Amino acid sequence: MTKAATLLAAEEGANPLLPHTFELVVGIFSFLVVLVVVGKILVPRIQKTLAERTDAIEGGIKRAEEAQAEAQALQQQYRDQLAEARHEAARLREEAREQAAQIKVELREEAQAEARRLVEAAHAQIEADRQAAFAQLRTEIGRLSTELAGRIVGESLEDEVRQSRIVDRFLDELESTPQAVR
């Protein structure tokens, strides 16, 4: 059979490596159809899909950059607000310290004024008590003096006007005596 195939091929005169003309035409036509289908339908769709993906990726990158810039702006804004809040807190603390110092001074002044008032009231009370004691003592001395004078003189000094004059004269003499005698 091998001899027969070789013989058949030699009779036809065709080269077994070259295709037949019919096969060559059908192959070229099929290739052109596939080329047109791929070139006109598939390539634009693939390019469109690739362009959409490129836009999506670039848009995503751009949106990410914008979001990052916005986040950095917000972060800077928050930092500024935080710094401002810290500054405000420091200012409020300083004001509170100043107010506390002022209140402390005011309370000290009020306490000193109250102490002075109490001391003055105590001095006034002491002076009033001294005056009352002096008046009571003067009355008692007057009564005792009148009684003593009445015993010495031997006459009653019950007359109030006379008694008052004698007591006043006696006390005036006592007050006019030098300090060393007292």
pLDDT digits (tens, 9 = 90+) for 145-161: 777 777 776 666 566 67
Contacts of 167 (CB under 8 A, 6+ apart): 138, 141, 142, 145, 146
Helix axes 43-153, 160-176, angle to 10 degrees: 110
* 128 touches 154 (CB < 8 A): no
Q: How many residues comprise the chain?
A: 182
Average pLDDT (23-35) is 92
Identify the pLDDT of residue 31: 94
List pLDDT tens digits, range 113-133. Answer: 999 999 999 999 999 988 888
In this model, does residue 18 exceed pLDDT 70?
A: yes
**Cα separations in angstroms, 17 against 14, 25, 46, 123:** 9, 16, 37, 145
In this model, does residue 180 exceed pLDDT 50?
A: no
Confidence of residue 181 (pLDDT cuts 50, 70, 90): very low
The conformation of residue 179, written as its DSSP 8-state character, comes to: T
Give the Cα separation of 72 and 48 in Å (integer).
35
Confidence of residue 7 (pLDDT cuts 50, 70, 90): low
Q: Determine the residue type at 12.
A: E
Report residue 57 CA to chain centroid gap: 45
List pLDDT tens digits, range 39-53. Answer: 898 889 999 999 999
pTM above 0.85, yes or no: no
Tokens found for residue 28: 């070229």
Identify the pLDDT of residue 153: 67
